Amino acid sequence: MPATIRLKHAKEAPAKADGKRILVDRLWPRGKSKEFLQLDAWLRDIAPSTQLRQWFSHDPAKWAEFRKRYFAELKTNPVLVTLRELTAKGTVTFVYAAADTEHCNATALREYLQR
């Protein structure tokens, strides 16, 4: 059974329904403790490269091109194997810190995995 992949901002409190909680950002969420986040894994290397993240700068006008470039990075990312194992069964929640919940790497990553 494929996993249900949920998205949750780092400022939102963990819940039992989250299942496995995976931080998918390269940078640790500012002001959040390990205790608060209650993560099962931090896969910083599944996040977009620093160059891509800085180019994108959360500009919605660049969203389509960002996704294209990020998906190309994911195709050759060895951490994808680990992520697929973690998301093989049950519910998984991708934790992220971006202010724009619609145009963030967690949203793009979920889309990539659900294809």
- In the block, residue with structure tokens 């091109």: 65
Q: Which pLDDT value is given to residue 1? A: 44
pLDDT tens-digit series, residues 23-55: 999 999 999 999 999 999 999 999 999 999 999
- Split at pLDDT 50, 70, 90, the class of 13 is very high
Handedness of CA 42, 43, 45, 46 (dihedral sign): negative
What does the angle CA 61 – CA 65 – CA 67 come to, to the nearest 5 degrees?
Answer: 110
Is the pTM higher than 0.85? Answer: yes
pLDDT tens digits along 58-91: 999 999 999 999 999 999 999 999 999 989 888 9
CB atoms within 10 A of CB 99: 10
